[in-house]
Every structure is written in C-alpha cells, then in structure tokens.
Amino acid sequence: MTALDLRPAPGSAGFTSQLLAQTRVEVRILARNAEQLLLTIVIPTVVLLLFSGAPIADLPKPRVDFVVPGVLALAVLSTAFTGQAIGTGFERRYGVLRRLATTPMPRAVLLSAKTAAVAAVEIVQIALLVVVGLALGWSPHGSPAEVVALLALGTVAFSGLGLLLAGAVRAEATLAAANLLYLLLLILGGVVFPLSDFSPGLRHVLELLPIAALTDGLRAVLRHGATPPLHDWVTLLVWAGASILVASRTFRWH
C-alpha cells in the first residue's frame, strides 16, 4: 500500500484562478455600489434621452444616430475611468488594498481583475443603452466586431487611466479629479457636441484624447457603416498600452 503524503504544500493559486476569483469579487463590489451605478447607468441614459429628444444643441440629423455612439463612449468613460478611479481610490484609503498586498496575489492580477469587472458591467450598461436607442429610432450600421474592438480598447485605456489616477493620489483628490475630468471630457470629447464646433487648433488637440477617438470611431461604424479611421485605432492603442504599462509600474497598494 502506498503511504499518503500528508505534508503541507503551501503555495498560491495560479494566475488564472486568482484572476477569476478576484474578478468575481470586483463585480460584486461594483454591483453593490449605488453611487457608481448612478454614474455608470443612469447618467448616460439621461444624456441619451435628453440630447436625442430635446433641441439643446445644433446636432446633425437624425439626432439619435449622432448621440448614441457618443453615449456608448460616455458609458465606457463612466465605468472604466470615473467609477474605477473613485472606487479604487477609496479602497486604498480604507486599507482594503493594504490587506490585499499581504496576500500572494500580484499587482497584475488585481489590475486585470478590476478591468475585467468593468467590462462585465459595461455589457449590461451598453445593452441597456442600445435598447433605449432603438426605442428612440436609432438605426445602427457597420460591423459589430469593429464596435466590440473599439469598446474593448476604450475600456483598457480608461481603466488604465483610472487605476493610474487612483494609485497616485489621495482618495479625496481622486474623487475631485475624476469627476472634473468626466465633465470636461463629456463637453470636449465629442460625446454630444461635435468637435467641428471648436476652433481648428483646439480640435486637433482634442482629437488626440481617447474619448474623442472612441466616439469618432464608433460614429464612423454605427452612423456611416464605415471602417474607423486609422487615427482612432492608433490613438486608442497608444492610450491603452501606455496607461496600463504606467499604472502597473506605479500603482501603490497603500
């Protein structure tokens, strides 16, 4: 008879197991946070209803076809950047991340899990906005695969920026900065106001923002049935790669 080896075999779980477990935790945290749900679901929906139906600004016709792609980009910004930055910032303040730092879970797992949880919430968020948009008479065009690719790149870019902000400054400063940037990008990122409304010099600068690239790419596909411009792909790729790289190297647990 072979003797059983009952000696302890300490060790951490593999990367995939840790990632799945932490992602489930992050999704539950997001789902229980009423303030973040207001930011990520209610505000984009209100913006869609308001700007599609009311003559608030001189927008291209049909208004809903112009507004929906911008609001989809706004939804990614709300969840991946603003909600992510604020939630993670207060996790640092309350010592949650300090406790996680004592576990075998590496920093890459935490950042990846938070990004994956954001993507899970965005699926519900975007599905709701699509239903509302269709009810308002929206007529989407183009390739669904290109839309998914743009949204995925935007999610990575904004998640990296949100984690970079949350890992660099205090929670109170993160709260103020994230909300201010959200408002500025809503106004200046082409979400509801066309970039052509701005002066040529300012417009060229704004076109380098990830929100502008995401909005423009989504409009190219969903409104015109065209392939997103190379400029939009490159802009999103650069922001996604740079933000995740810098965040992974500078993120602090406490």
What tens digit of pLDDT does each residue of 175-190 get? 889 989 999 999 999 9
- Domain hosting 188: range is 15-52+59-250
Q: What is the pLDDT of residue 144?
A: 93
**Residue 40 covered by a domain:** yes
Q: Which of 46, 35, 38, 21 is nearest to 192 (CA)?
A: 46
Identify the band that residue 204 occupies on the pLDDT scale cut at 50, 70 and 90. very high
Q: Which of 56, 45, 52, 46 is nearest to 66 (CA)?
A: 52
**Residue 166 covered by a domain:** yes
**Residue 200 covered by a domain:** yes
Q: What is the pLDDT of residue 6?
A: 63
Model confidence pLDDT, tens digit, residues 104-150: 778 788 878 888 888 888 898 999 999 999 999 999 999 999 999 99
- As given in the structure block, the two tokens for residue 226 are 């065209």
Instruction: Give me the mean pLDDT over the 95-104 stretch.
Output: 76
| Amino acid at position 158, single letter | F
**Residue 89 covered by a domain:** yes
Q: Read off the pTM.
A: 0.87
**Residue 97 covered by a domain:** yes
Q: Using a pLDDT cut of 70, give the percent of the chain over it.
A: 93
> Of 23-37, 40-54, 69-83, which one has max mean pLDDT?
69-83
- As given in the structure block, the two tokens for residue 166 are 């949350």
**Residue 1 covered by a domain:** no
CA distance 44 to 200: 28
- Residue 201's H or E segment, with its range, is helix 200-206
Please return the burial class of 198, using the count of CB atoms within 10 Å of its CB with bins 0-12, 13-18 and 19+.
middle
**Residue 243 covered by a domain:** yes
Model confidence pLDDT, tens digit, residues 48-85: 998 887 777 778 888 899 999 999 999 999 989 988 88
- As given in the structure block, the two tokens for residue 26 are 């992050």
User: How many independent structural domains does the chain possess?
Assistant: 1
**Residue 229 covered by a domain:** yes
Question: How far from each other are the two terminal CA atoms of the chain, in whole angstroms?
Answer: 52
Q: Which of 157, 158, 154, 175 is nearest to 166 (CA)?
A: 175
Q: What is the pLDDT of residue 16?
A: 81
Q: What is the pLDDT of residue 10?
A: 59
